[in-house]
Structure 1
Amino acid sequence: MARTGSGALLSRGNIKLDSFLKRNTERAVYQRIRAYEPCVVVSETVRKVYMHVVLSDERVYLAEYPPRTLTEALSFMRVRDIELVNDMPDFLHGKNRELCQHIRITYVTDKPAVRGRDWLRRDRRVGLPPAAPPSRRTSHCPTITHTLEGYPALRSLGELPTLPAARSASCPDPETLGLIRVPHPPTQPPSTAPSPTFPLSPSSLRFNLLDTGQVPRRIGSVLSRLLKKDSSSGGEEREAELHLYAVSHTSRLYLHLQSSWNSFIIRSTLSLDPLYRRRCSASSDSCPGKRLPAISWERTAHLFGQLSCELLQEGISVESLYLLLQELRTAAHRDITLRRLFWRSSELCDFLVQTLEESLHGCQSLSGVYTADQLLLSTLIAQTLAVMFRETEVEPARLNLLSAKKGALASRMLLALICDAELQTQNQRSPVDCELQALLAEYLDASCSLLFELLLLGHEASRCSSADSFLSVGWILGVLQPHPHTLSFVGYQVQQVVLVLSDLQESFLSPLQSVLLFQRCRLLLACLQYNTQLAQHLRSHFREEFRYVVKLSCAEEKLPPRYPISQPTLRLVEQILTLYLRR
C-alpha cells in the first residue's frame, strides 16, 4: 500500500476501505495511516475473525470486512515484542495454511483477562449506543463481521460467506471514532555541539503553519465502547497477545509493524527530553493556546518546491546552504508530507549526497584535518537525510529512487557517510582540537542514525521477493566493507556501546543516549549476523570487552523503565552478548 500525490491512499484493490478511512477519520489521522491488510485476527476477545488490520504511526486498528466501524486494538506504547511465529494454523488448509504468516504481538494491558468469549457474539447481545445520523454518502450497515468458525479453509478476498446481520446501525462519522492526533516530534536529537560559525535559524520560516496542536481525546469507537461494557479498567498490568494471520507469502504487514514500532519507540523516547519537546513545538510558540491550521498537501508541495529551488541554485554560499538545510530539516521533522515529497524527485537527494561527499571527503584542509564548518555542514546533511527516512517506508518512490541503477544512489550515500573516527590533530588538548573532536563526535552520532535507517531499509528488502530485494543488509555491509575507514567508523560505534554498558559510566542514560545506544546495537548486531569479515574483526578486537566489561545488569540499571526504547534495547544487548560469547 502506498499513497498518491493528492494524499489519498493507494490500496491494493481495496478502494472501499480507503474511502471508508478517508471519510470516517480526521485528516491528520488519515494522512498518517501507513498500511492496511486483510488477515485473520485472534486475541482474548476476537476469535478467528477475518478483518482489516489498519496500521498508523502510533496504533493498530481493526476494521470489519467489509469496513463498517474502526476500533483501536492496541497502542505501540504498550507493545513489548513483535515476532513471526513459525507454524501452520490448524484452522487453515491447503495453500492458505502454507502461505500464512503468523505475527504475534505481545503487549501490556491493565484489563482483566477475558476467556472463552467472542466479541462478535457479545456484540450481538449488547444494545448499540445511539448512532449519529447517516450522511448522504453513508448508508446503514451492520456492525457484524465474517468469522472463520465453521470455515476450515480461508477463501480469497470477497468469497467468504456473509453471516446474517443480527442488527444494523449507521456507519460512524469522525466524531464516533476515537482517533486522536498526537504531536510528532522530530526524529533527530537536538544539537549539543559547540556554537557553529553559521547563523542558526530558530525554526522553519515558510512551514511555520504546520499543525502541532493536540486534539482532545473523544469517545471511542462503537466497538471500543462495546468492548468496555463488561471489562473494568485499572488493576495490575499483565501481558496479552494479538495474533495476526496474513494469508499471503508477499504480505508486508510484519515489516510495517516492525518499522512503525521502531519509529514510535524512538520518537516517544526522544519526546521525553525537554529541549527536544521545545524544538518540536516551536512552530506554535507564537500563538500560545491556539491550534494553528494544517497546511494542505498542495500548499506543502508548493513550499517544498520553492525551498528545493533555492537549495539547488548555482553559486549558493555555504552560510545560505546551511540556513536552508536547517529550514528543510525542521519542516521535515513536523510534516510527513514533506518527507514523502522529498523522495519523489531525485534532484534534492542527489544534491545532498553530493554535498556530503564534497564536504566530508573532497574539501579537507591541506593538513588533512576537518574544519568546523565542514563537520557542521556534514552533520546537518546526515540529520536531514535520516529524518527523510522516518515513516516513509510505504512511499514507493523511496525504494524506486534508492534501487535505481542497481542502487547507485544508495551506494554513494553509504560511502559518503563513512569517515575516519580518529581525528588527526597536532595537540589534542588545544581548545580548537577539542572543539573539532566534539563536532566529529556529533557527526558520528548523526551518521550512525542515518546508517541505522539504511539498515532498516535493508531488513525490509531482505524479506521481500521482488526484484529490488538486492538492497539487503548483506548488500549494504558489502558496499561498506572495502571503504578504508569502515573499520574505524564501526569500531568507534562499538566502543560507544562498550562505554555505555560498562561500569565506567554510572548515571542514567538520557533519552538521546538511549536512542543512540539502540541504533548502535542494531548496527553491531547487523555486522555480527550479516558480514563475515566485519564479524571476525569485531569479535577479535572486542571479545574481551564483551566478555568481561559489558554487563546486561549495567544496561538494566542505566535504561529507565519509563523509556519506551528500554526493553527493545535490552533484548538487543542480550542477542549481542550471546553472539560474542559463542565459541
Structure 2
Amino acid sequence: MGSPARSGFPARMNSRLDAFLRRRLAPEVYDAIRAYEPCVVVSDSENHTFKYVVLSDRLIYLTENPPKSIRRAVALRDVVAIELIDDYPEFLNSPDREVNQHIRIIYSSTVKKECEKSKGLGKFLFPFHHANANNKKVKEENNGPVFWKSKEPRSPNESSLRYCLESSAPTKDSTLCPSPNFKKLSLHGQGAFQPLPSPSRRSCQSTPATGKAISKTSCTTNTKKPQDFAAHKDSLCEVPFKCNGNKNEFYLENSLLTSPLQSSTNLEKKELELHLYIISTTSSIFLHLKSSWNNYIIKATLLQDPIYASELIPAIGSQKPYRSEEKIKHFSQLKSELFLKDNTLSKILCLIMELKAAARKNFILKKLFWKTSDLFYFLVNKLHEYLPESRDKNARQNKSQRADELVVCIEILQTLGLMFRETETESSRLNTLAAKKGTLSNLLEILISKPQIPKSCPVFDIQLADATLVEMPFDAELQKLILEYTDTATALLYEILLVFQQIFEGNLGLGSTKFAISWMMSFLQNCPPIVTFVASIVKQVVKGLSASLQLLSPCQAVLLYQQFYILKSCLQYSKTLAEYIRNDYREEFRYFIHMPALKKRLPLCYPITQPTTQLFHEVLQLIEQKQCVKY
C-alpha cells in the first residue's frame, strides 16, 4: 500500500512520510490517502513554510517536512475553486521560479459571525464557477469543474481555519456517509451507479419464480447487511441534502448537527485561500487535486439518493474496527473463488456483487484489484463470453437464460466502473491497461455494442401445477436490461475516458502521449457500433431533458454529466464523430437539448449541477463549431 510510486506517479514515494501517516492516521483514513507532495505553503496561518500537502478522498492535510504532526487544512466539500497561477514568486530563487507550480485553492470556511447575517450561504457549499474579471483560463479542463489561471495571486485571507462540520482530532477523517435514518429501499433504482435493478425473479434478494432464474438461496451472502463498515465514533457524517419544491432552497435531512443551513446566528461562511508552491514541472499533484475534487462532487451527489446511500449504511450495532488485513484476506478469498472453473452463473453473480459491495466501502480493495492484472483480464474475458452475443447456443434462443447473462454483465460493468473510480493515482492501473491493449480494445468494443437478444417468440412456463402454458413477458424484461446495460456502459466508458484524458493532460505513467485520448477516440471511431452508441446517448439526453418537468434524481444527474462528457470528447478528439453529431443531431440540440431545459431538470442543491452546466455549455459551443479536433 505504501510502496514507491513509479513511472510518472510521484504520488506516494517517501517511505518516512508514509510510515508517519500510517502511524498517525486511522487505518481507513490511511488507506484512502491519494497522494502527497513537498511544497511551500502560504495561507492565513502559514507564512512560506516548507511542508507536505497530503491528499485524501475527502480532505487536504498539511504536515511538516520532516513530519512531526498533521492537521486538516481544507475539506473537499468546502472547495470553491482550484487554480493554477502563472507567476514568478519573489521568495523563490531564480531557478526554482522557472519550475514552480503555484496552486491556489479557494474554499469556504465557517467563522464566527461579526456582522449582520449574510445572505446566500448556499452558494459556498458546492464547487461553482469562480469568475473573476482579471482571470483567464489556463487551458480547457476535461475532468470536473473549471480551473483558472491568473498572473497575480490574491492575498491570502487572515481569518482562522475553522470548520463547523469537522472534528478536531487529527487522526480521524470525517466520514462521507448518509444519514443513518435512511430506510433500506428496493434495488430497483435508476442511474449509472445504482445497484442493478434486476427483475425480482432474478434478484439475489428475491425468491425464484420460474425457469433457470438465479435464486436467493445461492446468494445468501448478499442478503446480509454490511458488517465491515468502519465506525468513526468521533467523526461527523455529511448528511445528504434534500431540495424543496422551488429547487433553489435545500436543507439537511435527519441532521442533528449544527449547520450553516440551519439559520445559525453565530456562524457564517467566508472564502479563504490556501497557496501551494510546488517546486517541480513534473509534479502531478494539481491533476490529483482536481480529480479528487471531481470524484468528491460525484460521490456527494450520489449520496443524496437514498437507494445509493442505503448501500453504505452499516447495520445498527454491527460496526467492527477497520482492519486492512481483513480486507486483504477478503479480497483474496473472493478472487480465488471467482477463478474456479466450475462456477455457475449465479455463483459468479453473487461473488461479483460481494466484491462490488466491499470495494464501495473500502478503497483498499480497489488498490488490490489493480495491484495485479489477472482479475481485470478475467472480468473482461467473462464479458466477452456473453457480449455482444452469448457463446452459449442455448442462451441465443432462451430469453430467460439470456436475461440472467445480462444481469451478470451489468454487475461486472458496475464493478469495473467502481474500480476505475478514484484510482487515478495507482500506477499499476496504467501498467495493466498498457500491458495488453487487446484486452482494453475488447472492453471498449463491448461497451459501445448493443447486446444481442433472442428474437421475439413466445416463451412458455411448463412448471405450473396445472401444466397450463403461460406466456411470460420476457421481451419487456430484456429491453429493460438493455437500457440498464447502456447506462452502465456509458458510466464505465466515462471512467476510461478520464484515464486517457489524464494521461493527455499530465503525460503520466507511460512515457508517450500516444497512449492517450487521441488513441482511444481513433479506435472508437473505427468501430461500426460507435455510431449507434452515440445516437443512443443523444436519444437518452433528449429524453432526460424533455420527457417531463420532473427533477432528475442524483444518479440521473451524474449519468447526464457522464453523457455530456462523452459527447464533448467525441466533438473534440474525433473529426468523424464530430461531423456525425453536428450533421445528424443539430436539430435535437436546437429544440430539445438547450440550457433552459437543463436548468429545469437539475436541482441547484446537487454538487454536480454546476460542473454539468459548464460542461453542457462547452458541448453547445462545440456543436456550433465546424472544426475542433485535438491531437
TM-score bracket for the superposition, by shorter chain length: 0.7 to 0.9
Aligned to 1:448: 490
The 3-state SS of whatever aligns with 1:371 is helix
| Deviation at residue 12 of structure 1 after TM alignment | 5.6
Judged with a 3 Å threshold, the aligned counterparts in structure 2 of structure 1 residues 182 and 83 are, in CA distance, closer, same or farther, namely same
- Quick one: which amino acid aligns to residue 524 of structure 2? L
| Deviation at residue 432 of structure 1 after TM alignment | 2.7
Aligned to 2:288: 256
| Deviation at residue 90 of structure 1 after TM alignment | 4.8
| Deviation at residue 510 of structure 1 after TM alignment | 0.7
- Quick one: which amino acid aligns to residue 215 of structure 1? K
Aligned to 1:192: 197
| Deviation at residue 177 of structure 1 after TM alignment | 1.4
Aligned to 1:30: 30
Q: Residue 494 of structure 2 contacts residue 562 of structure 2 at CA under 8 Å; is this kept in 1?
A: yes
Q: Structure 1: any 5+ residue segments left out of the alignment?
A: 115-173, 219-231
Q: Residue 204 of structure 1 contacts residue 331 of structure 1 at CA under 8 Å; is this kept in 2?
A: no
Judged with a 3 Å threshold, the aligned counterparts in structure 2 of structure 1 residues 12 and 565 are, in CA distance, closer, same or farther, namely closer
CA separation in 1, counterparts of 2:518 and 2:265? 46
Residue deviations 1:417-471 (CA, integer Å, cap 9, x gap): 221389896599x943222111111111111111111111112211225534443
| Deviation at residue 295 of structure 1 after TM alignment | 3.3
Range moving further from structure 2, 349-358 or 554-563: 554-563
Aligned to 2:532: 488
Aligned to 2:449: 419
Aligned to 1:167: none
Range moving further from structure 2, 232-241 or 351-360: 232-241
Is 2:258 the counterpart of 1:265?
A: no
Aligned to 1:391: 422
Is 2:344 the counterpart of 1:317?
A: yes
| Deviation at residue 359 of structure 1 after TM alignment | 0.7
| Structure 1 residue corresponding to 2:403, chosen from 369, 372, 382 | 372
CA separation in 1, counterparts of 2:51 and 2:477? 56
Aligned to 1:49: 49
Aligned to 1:122: none
Judged with a 3 Å threshold, the aligned counterparts in structure 2 of structure 1 residues 189 and 234 are, in CA distance, closer, same or farther, namely farther
| Structure 2 residue corresponding to 1:180, chosen from 168, 173, 176 | 173
Range moving further from structure 2, 447-456 or 473-482: 473-482
CA separation in 2, counterparts of 1:3 and 1:417? 33
Aligned to 1:501: 545
Is 2:114 the counterpart of 1:70?
A: no
Residue deviations 1:187-209 (CA, integer Å, cap 9, x gap): 93223343333235476589954
- Quick one: which amino acid aligns to residue 263 of structure 1? N
Q: Residue 105 of structure 2 contacts residue 274 of structure 2 at CA under 8 Å; is this kept in 1?
A: yes
How many residue pairs match? The answer is 499
Q: Residue 80 of structure 1 contacts residue 106 of structure 1 at CA under 8 Å; is this kept in 2?
A: yes
Aligned to 2:327: 300
Is 2:525 the counterpart of 1:525?
A: no
| Deviation at residue 180 of structure 1 after TM alignment | 2.6
CA separation in 1, counterparts of 2:269 and 2:431? 44
Is 2:604 the counterpart of 1:561?
A: yes
| Deviation at residue 252 of structure 1 after TM alignment | 0.9
Q: Residue 11 of structure 2 contacts residue 37 of structure 2 at CA under 8 Å; is this kept in 1?
A: no
The 3-state SS of whatever aligns with 2:62 is strand
Aligned to 2:162: none
> For 1:73-88, what aligned pairs fall within 5 Å after superposition?
73-88=73-88
- Quick one: which amino acid aligns to residue 104 of structure 2? R
| Deviation at residue 374 of structure 1 after TM alignment | 2.6
| Deviation at residue 533 of structure 1 after TM alignment | 1.4
| Structure 2 residue corresponding to 1:477, chosen from 507, 521, 524 | 521
| Deviation at residue 11 of structure 1 after TM alignment | 6.9
- Quick one: which amino acid aligns to residue 3 of structure 1? G
CA separation in 2, counterparts of 1:280 and 1:301? 19
The 3-state SS of whatever aligns with 1:357 is helix
Aligned to 1:349: 376
Q: Residue 344 of structure 1 contacts residue 397 of structure 1 at CA under 8 Å; is this kept in 2?
A: yes
Aligned to 1:158: none
Range moving further from structure 2, 313-322 or 13-22: 13-22
Range moving further from structure 2, 540-549 or 323-332: 540-549
Judged with a 3 Å threshold, the aligned counterparts in structure 2 of structure 1 residues 533 and 80 are, in CA distance, closer, same or farther, namely farther
Judged with a 3 Å threshold, the aligned counterparts in structure 2 of structure 1 residues 179 and 561 are, in CA distance, closer, same or farther, namely farther
| Deviation at residue 538 of structure 1 after TM alignment | 1.4
Q: CA RMSD in A?
A: 3.4
CA separation in 1, counterparts of 2:99 and 2:84? 13
> For 1:85-104, what aligned pairs fall within 5 Å after superposition?
85-104=85-104
Q: Residue 82 of structure 2 contacts residue 290 of structure 2 at CA under 8 Å; is this kept in 1?
A: yes
| Deviation at residue 87 of structure 1 after TM alignment | 4.4
Q: Structure 2: any 5+ residue segments left out of the alignment?
A: 115-166, 179-190, 203-212, 237-263, 459-471, 627-631
CA separation in 2, counterparts of 1:515 and 1:323? 26
Relative to its length, the structure with more helix (as a share) is: 1
CA separation in 2, counterparts of 1:500 and 1:459? 26
| Structure 1 residue corresponding to 2:559, chosen from 516, 529, 533 | 516
Identical counterparts, % of pairs: 37
Aligned to 1:334: 361
The 3-state SS of whatever aligns with 1:21 is helix
Judged with a 3 Å threshold, the aligned counterparts in structure 2 of structure 1 residues 317 and 97 are, in CA distance, closer, same or farther, namely same
Aligned to 2:127: none
Q: Residue 397 of structure 2 contacts residue 455 of structure 2 at CA under 8 Å; is this kept in 1?
A: no
Residue deviations 1:509-567 (CA, integer Å, cap 9, x gap): 11111111111121111111122211221122222222332222332332222222222
| Structure 2 residue corresponding to 1:215, chosen from 222, 230, 233 | 233
